[in-house]
Structure 1
Amino acid sequence: MHIAFPFKINGRGRTAKVETDEHIRQMIEQVLFTSPGERVNRPDFGTGISNLIFASIGDEIIAATKFMVQGALQQHLSDVILVQDIHVESEDAALRVAVQYVAIKSGQQRVAMFERKLPEVSEVS
């Protein structure tokens, strides 16, 4: 069992925990959506791909993003997963990322899918 991300309290008033498969998915999510420089004492952690929500994405950007994500996951999670494929797309103010990987400890192949949308702006009268 591992501490859940984001940190939360369970129904019994204790630290929420997750199984290993969900923990790996949560670690991938942290690497993907943390911007470099965001974490104290780990300035190289993350990818900063959240900025792609604002960009129009062409084939070159997708290829560069896949390379960047592959490198970040290898750098920070190479002892946990072996990345097999990455799919990135952005449309309608949403960023979707799929990471196909093998969990090294169990040998299980998995696909983790993530989506981030622009926050909706509420109108103030």
Structure 2
Amino acid sequence: MRMDFPYRIAGKGRTAATEGDTYVRDLIEQVLFTSPGERVNRPTFGSGLLRLIFEPNSEPLASSAQLAVQGALQQWLADYILVEAVRVQSQEATLEVTVQYVVRRTQERRVERFRRSP
């Protein structure tokens, strides 16, 4: 059993659990939106993506964000996924990340979109 993300309590008062593809999606979301230094025992965990929400939107910024996200996903989730493509867009104060990947366990290709606003 794996804990669901974000953490919540299930109907019977126990920790909610998740399985399969939902678990992999939760892992990706944690890497994307965790800032390095946020986790005590893993100070380099995360992508640093949230700091970009307030940066001026530009091509060089988008390119560096894509590289940072792809590198973080490959570093932390290489046992779970094969990253094929990452696209980062920032419009006003909303950050949207699209990740195309293959789940290693099932060889299923997936595309997930994640959004975050301050």
**TM-score higher than 0.5:** yes
Residue of structure 2 equivalent to 1:59: 59
Residue of structure 2 equivalent to 1:95: 95
Larger Rg: 1
Runs of 4+, deviation exceeding 4 Å: none
Residue of structure 2 equivalent to 1:114: 114
**Matches for 1:1-125 after TM superposition, within 5 Å:** 1-118=1-118
Identical-pair percentage: 50
User: Aligned with 1:54: secondary structure?
Assistant: coil
AA partner of residue 21 (structure 1): D
Aligned residues: 118
Distance, in Å, in 2 between the alignment partners of 1:110 and 1:57 is 27
Q: Deviations over 1:55-84 (max 9, x none)?
A: 112111111111111110111000000000
TM-score (norm 2): 0.95
Name stretches of at least 5 consecutive residues in structure 1 with no aligned partner.
Answer: 119-125
AA partner of residue 64 (structure 1): S
TM-score (norm 1): 0.90
Name stretches of at least 5 consecutive residues in structure 2 with no aligned partner.
Answer: none
